[in-house]
A = this chain, B = another copy of it.
Amino acid sequence: MFKHTKMLQHPAKPDRPDPLFAKKMQEILGGQFGEISVAMQYLFQGWNTRGNEKYKDLLMDTATEELGHVEMIATMIARLLEDAPLDQQEKAAEDPVIGSILGGMNPHHAIVSGLGAMPESSTGVPWSGGYIVASGNLLADFRANLNAESQGRLQVARLFEMTDDKGVKDMLSFLLARDTMHQNQWLAAIKELEAQEGPVVPGTFPKALEKQEFSHQLINFSEGEVSAEQNWLNEKAPDGEAFEYVKEAKTFGEKPELKPAPPFVHNTLPGRE
């Protein structure tokens, strides 16, 4: 169960409204790697965890924090939208600055949400449950989390460079710090799990059942052998085996010819051409 605290985790006050930046900031709210994504991802991972309570705790705590980040960004967007010159159509035709605001802002902010945040990305695409990952395998999922916090922090850093508003930068610098922590924490937890399960997910699948002759081959699928110059090829692979370089990809399969479909499927009859 959850409880709500009326104060924000961190201030979310821009120095001045900026409807164009409000549109861009939607990315870290409702984009593929926005705060809704990490909140939902950690929630589902936490709820689905079976028998590793300390990790479940970690997931639920982090998820709960992320819900507060969603709140901060939604609030920031609502404030960036204040005083949008929606009623100044006539001026817009003459004043190119107003014109480019009205032409460039997310129309949903004007028409749909009444100057509020939307659960969607910077291009106005609704957030999708298809973005998140919760597989029941914690090593796999912590890698997903590390990825999410890496992409997320990268996007926040880019937004930071795209504004001069000190209030906005203040909140972003807090989010950058928390993303630093979250990258650190998933890295640390990944190290722990790799020590127990090995680096290849899932560690429980018997090696003997995979075709091990292909498990360490870097196969070249293009002309030239530039790809052989990867430095790590000469080191041991993370799972302790030796890498092998295959100069030219070979086929081991057959030319796939399928059986004609039965007549009641009404595919093209064989022998047409």
A133 to chain B: closest residue by CB: B151
Kindly provide the distance from the CB of A163 to the nearest chain B CB, expressed in whole angstroms: 6
Give, as a whole number of angstroms, the nearest-CB distance from A218 to chain B.
6
**Interchain CB contact (< 8 A) of A154 among B23, B32, B137, B252:** B137
- A138 engages B272 (CB within 8 Å): yes
Q: Assuming the A-B contacts A5-B1, A112-B27, A130-B130, are A199 and B221 also in contact, with contact meaning beta carbons closer than 8 angstroms in the complex?
A: no
What residue of chain B has the Cβ atom nearest to residue A30's Cβ? B129
**Given A24-B107, A221-B65, A268-B52, does the pair A177, B213 have CB atoms closer than 8 Å?**
yes
Bitwise, A200-225 to B at CB < 8 A (1) or not (0) is: 11101100011111111111111110
* Total A residues in contact with B, Cβ cutoff 8 Å: 193
Chain A contacts with B in 66-95, Cβ cutoff 8 A? 67-68, 70-72, 74-75, 78-79, 82-83, 86-87, 89-90, 93
Q: Most chain-B Cβ atoms within 10 A of its Cβ — which of A57, A183, A191?
A: A57
Assess whether B58 is in contact with A230, with CB atoms less than 8 Å apart. yes
A225 to B33, CA, bound (A): 29
Contact A177 B212 (CB under 8 A): yes
Does the CB pair A32–B71 fall under 8 Å?
no
Copies of this protein in the complex: 6
B177/A6 in contact, CB under 8 A = no
Q: Is the CB of B200 within 8 A of A153?
A: yes
**Could you tell me if B157 and A202 are in contact, using CB atoms closer than 8 angstroms?**
yes
Closest to A93 in B: B97
Which chain B positions have C-beta within 8 A of A9? 1, 249, 251-253
0/1 interface trace, chain A 99-141, chain B, CB 8 Å (1 if under): 1111111111011111111111111111111111111111110
A 228-260 binary contact with B (CB < 8 Å = 1; else 0):
011110010111010100000101111111111
CA distance A211 to B15 in the complex (A): 19
Query: Is A140 a contact of B135 with CB atoms below 8 Å?
Result: no
25 A-B pairs with CB atoms under 8 Å apart are A1-B7, A4-B222, A7-B255, A11-B252, A11-B253, A12-B256, A31-B111, A32-B112, A47-B117, A53-B257, A57-B222, A67-B67, A72-B253, A79-B258, A86-B262, A112-B155, A137-B154, A137-B268, A140-B147, A143-B147, A161-B264, A184-B243, A185-B243, A192-B273, A197-B269
Apart from A108-B121, A153-B201: 15 A-B pairs, beta carbons within 8 A: A1-B4, A2-B71, A48-B78, A60-B221, A64-B221, A65-B221, A107-B123, A116-B134, A121-B124, A130-B131, A137-B266, A143-B146, A184-B216, A187-B199, A202-B266
